[in-house]
Amino acid sequence: MRKRLSTLLFALISLCGFAQECIDYNKKLHCHIEGEVKESTFTRILLMIGNGDPRVVPVDTIWVKDGHFSHDLYIDEPEFYQLFACEDYNNGCWMTLDFFAEEGDVYATFYGYAMDNSPRPTLHSETPLNKELLAYNKSIEERFYIPMRQEEEVLEKAGKLLTVEGAALKKLYDECEDRDSLNSLSEKIELLEKENRLYTPEYKAFMAKGKELRKEMYVYELDYITNNPNLVGLYLLDQVRYRLYNKDNATKQPYVDVFKRVYDARYPTNNMAIALRNWVSSMDVRVGSRIIDFTLPDLNGAKHTLSKEIEGKIAIVDFWASWCGPCRRTSMSFIPLYNKYKDKGFTVVGVASELDSEDMRLAVEKDGYPWLNLLALRGVDNIWERYGIRGAGEVFLVDKDGTILVIGATAEEVEQILKERL
């Protein structure tokens, strides 16, 4: 999986070493990780459990020496993990290597930098779950991706991807180094695509075929998930959750049904199953529904329950983070509204998702938020996930009875509603 992030992030510290002396290794599964780095200058490989967010979830550091790295992981039960290069991560674009930590060995190979479009990292392992995952990925590659790539290569060699006009613009774009000219050319290419004049008839037919093949792949995927109720099936279902993030509930429903029927009771404590439960419950968070209540501490450790803090008031529940620049700009836009309407039945409660409470403290001081801010430290209680928030934050405008009025509210929208209702 290739991931992107616009904000450069802080150095990561391994948090697992402090408890090593307390581990009874005889009662643990031992996963030994070996790896090598090729065609890059990576100095650190990061290890993270599940599909978490490294800005919030603690990450272990594995140091690279002479192009090689190794790590011993001791776990209570098999679990999904990710490896990725620290230098890639700090550049804001990285590729993850997914694997199952279970009894046995895994071997990982990392290549060049993600931003240079280098090959994806590769995994080799003879452990049962990893062998099954690798076999599934191979079947998808051979059944769906390779034939389409081969067909596209034939069209490209024959010069049948772009129209004459499209190819001319693409050539100018590839050779251009001026930023303003690049933007202008990009707009022209987009306009050509909108006017259906960018691609050749042959390539349009190819894309239509690819669309149908993708549907077949999703049917194959769902069938595999349904009929292979193990951690590999659960992992694939968790990957679907990301793919369907912005899709409507009807599109999500077949996957929700198989999770409830096959996986929910089977994996009560697994991290992927917990994430999927939160995903299912977040589908009910919409305009007209009631807020999901929760209790979190402020920076001084005092506990606050959301429903009590906003009871009888029109309120903004502002999910933000110190590492999210757009979130903070949005939050600051509400300060004048808060000062204007705070004595008229309006309030704001911030909910910051952080790896370290000090990051939140510094952000609050710098931005000058005058309202109550609660701390969701290291993903505690999965508050953001339960609200269906992925990556950046979100703003919920809530009525006096706890009903959601607007999701993604702007300061202008909020003020108009306050004028009407207060």
**Distance from C-alpha of 310 to C-alpha of 48, rounded to nearest angstrom:** 36
Q: What pLDDT does residue 9 have?
A: 38
Torsion sign, CA atoms 392, 397, 398, 400? positive
- Residue 85: domain span: 2-125
Buried b / exposed e over 384-419, threshold 16 CB at 10 Å, is bbbbbbeebbbbbbbbeebebbbbebebeebbebbe
Q: What pLDDT does residue 309 have?
A: 96
**Distance from C-alpha of 98 to C-alpha of 85, rounded to nearest angstrom:** 13
Torsion sign, CA atoms 403, 317, 272, 223? positive
- 240 lies in a domain? no
The tally of domains found in the chain comes to 2
For 104, the 3-state DSSP assignment is: strand
- 182 lies in a domain? no
Residues 4-23: pLDDT tens digits? 444 333 333 333 443 445 56
- 278 lies in a domain? no
- 75 lies in a domain? yes
> Residues near 325 by Cβ (< 8 Å), separated by ≥ 6?
6, 7
DSSP 8-class letter at 199: B
Domain boundary among 98, 125, 152: 125
CATH number at residue 89: 2.60.40.1120
- Which pTM was predicted? 0.84
Domain boundary among 125, 143, 171: 125
- Degrees to nearest 5, angle at CA 97 with 14 and 394: 70
- Inter-residue contact 304 to 298 (CB < 8 Å): yes
Domain boundary among 76, 94, 125: 125
Q: What pLDDT does residue 22 have?
A: 58
- 44 lies in a domain? yes
Q: What pLDDT does residue 224 have?
A: 98
**Distance set, CA 159 to CA 145, 149, 155, 166 (Å):** 21, 15, 6, 12
Per-residue pLDDT of the chain (422 residues; tens, 9 = 90+): 555 444 333 333 333 443 445 567 778 999 999 999 998 889 999 999 988 888 888 899 999 999 999 999 999 999 999 999 999 999 888 899 999 999 999 999 999 898 888 899 999 999 999 999 999 999 999 999 999 999 999 999 999 999 999 999 989 988 988 888 888 989 999 999 999 999 999 999 999 999 999 999 999 999 999 999 999 999 999 999 989 988 889 999 999 999 999 999 999 999 999 999 999 999 999 999 999 999 999 999 999 999 999 999 999 999 999 999 999 999 999 999 999 999 999 999 999 999 999 999 999 999 999 999 999 998 888 888 899 887 778 999 999 999 999 999 899 999 999 999 88
- 272 lies in a domain? no
**Distance from C-alpha of 264 to C-alpha of 274, rounded to nearest angstrom:** 9
Q: What pLDDT does residue 51 have?
A: 83
> Residues near 180 by Cβ (< 8 Å), separated by ≥ 6?
none
- 93 lies in a domain? yes
CATH number at residue 411: 3.40.30.10
- 263 lies in a domain? no
